[in-house]
A and B are shown apart, each in its own frame.
Chain A
Amino acid sequence: MVKHLVAFLLLAVLAAVFASLTLGYQPDAALNRTALYYAENTAKDLGAQNIVTAIVVTYRGLDTLGEVTVLFLTSAIVGLILSTHRATGEGRATGIPAAGELLRTGSRLLVPLILLAGVYVFVNGHLTPGGGFQGGAILASAALLMLLADPLHRFGHRLIAVVESLSGVAYVAIGLLGLAWAGGFLDNRFLPLGDFGTLFSAGAIPVIYTLIGLKVGAEFASMLASLSETEKS
């Protein structure tokens, strides 16, 4: 009870801080200098319609490479921690009733559509809201649907590992191409910028975001597979 009271008091103080922040908040009337630079120069420098994508993939591309590396580390650690407890598919109790016809057919119908939606989201990342991370998460949700419909389903870890490694290597290779033929590491301008606002525009941004999407999708899928395969039989 005392602990709850202490926590409550601490949070009351924090709430007072938040309240003063909210009450004194005035939204900016004009963009600050960094945002102004992005607003004025993104279209003519990088040819990307979506400024957030231009920041994530090109202006701050190295940070995104680090972010993808953090995700890779996470999925590797999750796999490592759970690996000793991995139950084999055959040895598990078959107490789970088989999925019904509706569930099986429905999930078989939905999985390709979900994959298509994910690909659409990351291929159009430079034009519309969305991109590699969102599209990758949608791809992984297809894997989640398959696991929910059939909990005993086993993914090929080899396939996931191959997709993940290949897209990671290609991502770094494209960064090096930018270093060789354009302004610097992960510069998108070694490919032609194309017509502003079309699918094949913004140089290497769609290619990089496609690779990020595949990599993120593979990492999330491998996390899901590790978590589901360790369920107690």
Chain B
Amino acid sequence: MITVALVTGFALVLAGLYGALTNRNILRMIVSFTVADAGVNLVLVAVGAMPGRTAPILDAAVPVGDAARRIIDPLPQALVLTAIVIGLGVTALMLAYAYRLHATRGSLDISKFTELKW
């Protein structure tokens, strides 16, 4: 199960990067980045998982004294929570800049913006 999640996450990262590198439309590139972002989060959560254990919530299923042997690593989950929120902020910023680019230059085609090209 962990391997499936790892493979899926890595595949999403690759698909997202491929889309970001080959698409010319800025909106499509932003969507590709969010796909890669989801892949990275999936890989992080998968690395924190351990076979035969349960979520790090000490309810009726996990007695407090037995927690060390019953729960998975809670740290990657806290990390991914942060990563998701920051990823959303980055996406919103990219969309706002894309809007501004389209408003000033009338195009979302990355090959039309040659100022930073070398």
Contact = CB atoms under 8 A, between A and B. Distances in A.
B42 interface: no
* Secondary structure of the B contact surface, majority rule: helix
Interface residues of A, number: 60
Contact of A74 (B14, B81, B93): B93
B20 to A, nearest CB: 9
B85 A32 contact: no
Interface string B65-78: 00110010111011
Nearest to A49: B58
A81 B74 contact: no
Given A27-B2, A49-B59, A82 B99 contact: yes
B6 A11 contact: no
A176 B18 CA distance: 47
A56 to B, nearest CB: 5
Contacts of A153: none
A39 B56 contact: yes
B85 A67 contact: yes
B55 A129 contact: yes
Question: Interface residues of B toward A: which range?
Answer: 35 or more
A226 to B, nearest CB: 8
Given A11-B14, A51-B57, A67-B86, A77 B96 contact: yes
A35 B85 contact: no
Given A128-B57, A129-B55, A129-B57, A39 B67 contact: yes
A50 B50 CA distance: 18
B93 A78 contact: yes
Given A63-B82, A81-B100, A7 B22 contact: yes
Contacts of B73: 28, 31-32, 35
Interface string B14-25: 100110011000
Given A7-B18, A43-B67, A52-B81, A82 B100 contact: yes
A92 interface: no
Given A4-B22, A51-B57, A56 B81 contact: yes
A22 interface: yes
Q: Which 9 A-B pairs have the closest CB atoms?
A: A74-B89, A7-B21, A51-B56, A18-B10, A55-B78, A51-B74, A35-B73, A39-B67, A43-B64
Interface of A: 3-4, 7-8, 10-11, 14-15, 18-19, 21-22, 25, 27-29, 31-32, 34-36, 38-40, 42-44, 49-52, 55-56, 60, 63-64, 67, 70-71, 73-75, 77-78, 81-82, 85, 127-129, 131, 133, 196-197, 216, 220, 223, 226-227, 230
Given A64-B82, A220-B88, 14 more contacts: A14-B17, A22-B7, A27-B2, A31-B73, A35-B75, A36-B68, A38-B56, A40-B67, A49-B57, A51-B74, A52-B78, A56-B78, A56-B81, A226-B96
